[in-house]
Amino acid sequence: MQGWDKVEALTADAYAFGLGETRGLVADYIPILAETDPELFGVCVAEVDGSIHSAGDAAVEFSIQSISKAFVYALVCEELGHDLVKEHVGVNNTGLAFNSVMAIELNYGHPMNPMVNAGALATTALVPGGSPAEQWELIRQGLSRFAGHPLELDGEVYRSEMATNQRNMAIARLLESYRRIEIDPLKVVDVYTKQCALRVSARDIAVMGATLADGGVNPITGEQVVSAAVCRDTLSVLAANGMYERSGEWLFEIGLPGKSGVAGGIVTISPGKAGIGVFSPRLDSAGNSVRGQAATSFLSRSLGLNIFASDVSPTRLEP
């Protein structure tokens, strides 16, 4: 594949390119995140054949935050099927911030989008299990299978968010009032907050992305984590919604499905080829890592990954 012989060097170049970007602010609405070193920066490309290319702080752990939404969505689709989840949670962009309450009201209580907090809470509520503890275990094990090793809860991040997430509690209560959450909404918030506090590295999210890139097969363990059909559905939802209200800009510049998290991670998927994981805590106003976007954009362009670009054949059939 053109450019792939240089992927190791291009990963280092993407890191160097991203380092030049110093704009953005570290998230502080979850108090513990404000203590993160703003200079941390890691880039990792995990190919579907299991090759790994890393630069910078690619092994440093951070909380997965909203990136978890993509993988919990995939697990729930695997369990419950495409149609039920589509009807219950939706697949459309709200065009509003990830924690918008107005989006729920504007849509008569339908969450619309599984990649914003309302839709993610509605999705987590659908996770099978007789109790919140069972749901949490299913999520932790499922995301660990995507990563290829056991993921651990960051207790400090979990407690810090639980002490300050009144807004998510309000969103969950509102969804309950519209019957979009049919179990105890505050317990759903608790499980959701735990899923967001799982510790991952840029390398981990690259491997998780590569699993979605390869029809659900983890490139390190060889395990089929979810079906190819679920990967296809998840990637289309990410393309439309993965970067919140900036999803259009992201698709325009980078041309790949991706998902960001407020701790500074971004996972990007190049279908059939690779997962890209980046981590840098300084965010733009939509909550997307600034250096992460720069490095991913560099890789998409230099490796020719934009899914909307097609090579024009020199010959064509005459009518």
Active site residues: 66, 69, 192, 244, 262
Decide whether 211 or 241 has the Cβ nearer to ligand DON. Answer: 241
Q: Which residues share a beta bridge with 167?
A: none
Is 230 within 8 Å of 73 (Cβ atoms)? no
Minimum CB separation of residue 258 from ligand DON in Å reads 11
Is 281 within 8 Å of 263 (Cβ atoms)? yes
Is 309 within 8 Å of 255 (Cβ atoms)? yes
Give the E-state strand segments of 39-142 in sequence order: 42-47, 52-56, 62-63
Minimum CB separation of residue 171 from ligand DON in Å reads 9
**CA torsion angle for 224, 225, 229, 230 (degrees, to 10)?**
180
Decide whether 54 or 168 has the Cβ nearer to ligand DON. Answer: 168
Question: Would you list the DSSP string of 204-217?
Answer: HHHHHHHHHHTTTB
Neighbouring residues of 131: CB distance < 8 A, sequence distance ≥ 6 = none
Q: How far is Cα 248 from Cα 252, in angstroms, rounded to an integer?
A: 6
Minimum CB separation of residue 173 from ligand DON in Å reads 15
Length of the chain: 319
Decide whether 260 or 280 has the Cβ nearer to ligand DON. Answer: 260
Decide whether 52 or 74 has the Cβ nearer to ligand DON. Answer: 74
Decide whether 219 or 261 has the Cβ nearer to ligand DON. Answer: 261
Minimum CB separation of residue 206 from ligand DON in Å reads 18
Q: How far is Cα 54 from Cα 213, in angstroms, rounded to an integer?
A: 18
Q: How far is Cα 207 from Cα 258, in angstroms, rounded to an integer?
A: 13
Decide whether 241 or 270 has the Cβ nearer to ligand DON. Answer: 241
304: left (phi over 0), alpha (psi -120 to 50) or beta: left
The Cα angle at residue 161 between residues 158 and 166, in degrees rounded to 5: 135
Minimum CB separation of residue 165 from ligand DON in Å reads 6
Binding residues vs ligand DON (CB under 6 A):
65-66, 98-99, 117, 161, 168, 196, 260-262, 287
Minimum CB separation of residue 99 from ligand DON in Å reads 6
